[in-house]
Structure 1
């Protein structure tokens, strides 16, 4: 009986501490200058059971409570997605503004990336990335947001996959192009996406040379969704002195996609 009481008390303490942590995280997220940024390869809303289910994808996003979402593998009016504009539908279901960025024509529609935001979207630009023959056209979607008195730019991208020499070469071309765009940018930038690059691959190491990851080593795996063993999804900051990292997590949501979503909670500091 005494052991049961001890177990019960411990369970209550654990519940209270987790509840307090959740309240504090929500309090931080509700601050007008606090960013809860999610990067999520949604696999065109086809869940692990092989069924199209935008509602489940939207629920996974809503449950995590981000105010900025950087999406990859998004369909726009394709046959396999029943002709739906997935960015618009997810925006409606989550109560956020949306922008879609096309990478390629696919299955009677378009395929690419998207941004959802609770902050006002000021403008957006979709920039196609360089690629070598035999690889796939990729893109980087740039979206300027109004955050308090600041302008913040977020970028979502999905880089070349594969482990052949041509894939490594293409990814390096793509991150070099992204660097040129970022260094010419006047505002702080958050880059997130499926970089298809292990932490020791040249693509990520190149980005890390001028941007700061929002998480620290040892990196938590993000792929595949079930029993992940490697990290290929990232959130990085340009002008990191403008940000304070409050929290980082890999969301345990293995049934929604073949990737696990990642979330960085950041405080955007005012310019003094």
Structure 2
């Protein structure tokens, strides 16, 4: 390939048709159903920038209503004065458990106040050691069952920007209010949790355990657990278990920093038959494992699995999930429960592999919980933690507890033991959801039409009251067949891509993003900052194609489009367009019978 003949292409987005990825189907809602503050009325002192002459806010994108909208991409920014406040009206009195504030920028001094119907506020938490430079934190304040209708955030002091030395008011992404609940544990139910406790953050394991105690969890799967490492020079599992969980089991994944690092189980009931199994971790940076043990609650015998899968690629995880699924299929124990951090951070449909035999807690009936609360630009979804149960366990309650104790939230569920497996449509529901995510512009008319007809049939089966499990499973198979039979119209979609370089090295703006079907400035290839840059798309075989469509975010003044049959000898079909645009537009180039497209 003669790179000297190829000019610079900056911020190129290549796609043969306009299409959208699966992630676009989901909004950025991070709230649980039991958030009392969700969409409730608010009053507030001001907004950054104040009001303009017509009485409107100068920056309406920062209004107070944003803290109760259930979204993580909006926020309230207080005005630039010390005395700023916002009040949430719950519209009736509740016995309150906690208030959680997701700060975009925390102030150094503020109070949490509550009031009953009379609106006479009292301070329940006075913070004098907050952030002096507007750092981002999530903080939870326990209210211990106090009754209130109104909850007020009272800022007493602004924070100072470390670069421009200006003072700013608080900025809050979301405020979550939880009701205190009376949790009962019965003989025919089980309360389960899964919790990645982030050993690298050196957490306070006593506080972690107290959180599980608060929700009366009987058995907990833990991930990222240290034993006598340099960063945590003690046995985290033993410290976590204390007297609450007398039976524990640790599985080492790797040696780490003079000690061991892995996963663990903590249980109120005696664990037996414990074993650790290595899963295929080829291509991953560290070995991954799953653990299995058995325990009894009364006459109910449960096989309990726990795991922490690889984060590097979806392909690695798929192999690991298949190994775990095979073990579950061969397990004759009456009841099966699986907990874990599956690191399924690219598509929620990664979990569908398990639904042939199990129901999943995270994603049950289409409700997803963003259990990872950190920031990772490589993750498309944050619903990575899950609990899977056999169909003779009825899912009665699901809750995600937001916490700053770890970079993962606690996911928990209450299940009820059944004598026989129940008919579950969850596999069918999830497969229908997956099938609906395919874009018509990517596929031929006939193959996409066949998929649409199968979706209609699947919906009819899903809405039937007395459908059998065999019929549900048969419909899923037919629907998956229709997906497998889709014929690509966009020949470049997810093709192999090689590039000369990238603008940044943090995982953003890489070559494969130019053929991922997402027409967005956040999903593009951006070349390195040199004149000669190139991208090579390998279609895999010689094909007949009518045109190339390039969607630019920024077009360069001088470039060429080339094609080749063998990847060595290239023909220029377009060159020297003297135009620069900082907007998204598309260019078309005619192409016939070529394997490689440049």
Interval containing the TM-score (normalised by the shorter chain): 0.7 to 0.9
SS at match of 1:216: helix
**C-alpha distance in 2 between matches for 1:140 and 1:134:** 15
Work out whether 1:211 is the aligned partner of 2:358: yes
Residue 225 of structure 1, CA deviation: 5.1
Work out whether 1:96 is the aligned partner of 2:246: yes
Q: 1:262 to 1:199 in 2, by over 3 A?
A: farther
Tell me which of 136, 148, 154 is aligned to 2:298. 148
Residue 198 of structure 1, CA deviation: 3.8
Task: Indicate the structure whose relative CO is greater, using CA pairs within 8 Å and at least 6 residues apart.
Answer: 1
Q: Which moved more, 1:228-237 or 1:136-145?
A: 228-237
Q: Which residue does the alignment assign to 1:69?
A: 220
Structure 1's unaligned 5+ residue stretches are: 1-6
**C-alpha distance in 2 between matches for 1:92 and 1:222:** 25
**C-alpha distance in 2 between matches for 1:88 and 1:116:** 9
Structure 2's unaligned 5+ residue stretches are: 1-88, 97-146, 149-178, 422-598
**Deviations, residues 23-66 of structure 1 (Å, cap 9, x unaligned):** 2xx22xx21231110000000273xxxx5422222222222220
SS at match of 2:273: strand
**Deviations, residues 63-102 of structure 1 (Å, cap 9, x unaligned):** 22200100000011111101x1111221115343211011
Q: Which residue does the alignment assign to 1:44?
A: 199
**C-alpha distance in 1 between matches for 2:294 and 2:307:** 15
Determine if contact 2:189/2:417 at 8 Å carries over to the other structure: yes
Larger Rg: 2
**C-alpha distance in 1 between matches for 2:208 and 2:408:** 12
Identify the structure with the greater helix proportion. 1
**Deviations, residues 212-267 of structure 1 (Å, cap 9, x unaligned):** 112331312111258x96211111113x1x111110011121x1000001001001
Q: 1:93 to 1:225 in 2, by over 3 A?
A: farther
Residue 202 of structure 1, CA deviation: 5.8
Determine if contact 2:229/2:257 at 8 Å carries over to the other structure: yes
SS at match of 2:242: helix
Q: Which residue does the alignment assign to 1:195?
A: 342
Determine if contact 2:251/2:291 at 8 Å carries over to the other structure: yes
Q: How many aligned residue pairs are there? A: 248
Q: Which residue does the alignment assign to 2:409?
A: 260
Residue 200 of structure 1, CA deviation: 2.9
**C-alpha distance in 1 between matches for 2:305 and 2:399:** 19
What does residue range 96-245 of structure 1 map to in structure 2 within 5 Å? 96-162=246-312, 167-187=313-333, 188-198=335-345, 200-201=347-348, 203-214=350-361, 215-224=364-373, 230-238=382-390, 240=391, 242-245=392-395
**C-alpha distance in 1 between matches for 2:95 and 2:274:** 46
**Deviations, residues 178-228 of structure 1 (Å, cap 9, x unaligned):** 0111011012211111101048356422123432112331312111258x9
Residue 154 of structure 1, CA deviation: 1.1
**C-alpha distance in 2 between matches for 1:170 and 1:225:** 22
Q: Which moved more, 1:98-107 or 1:202-211?
A: 202-211
Q: 1:13 to 1:222 in 2, by over 3 A?
A: closer
RMSD value, Cα: 2.7
**C-alpha distance in 1 between matches for 2:225 and 2:301:** 25
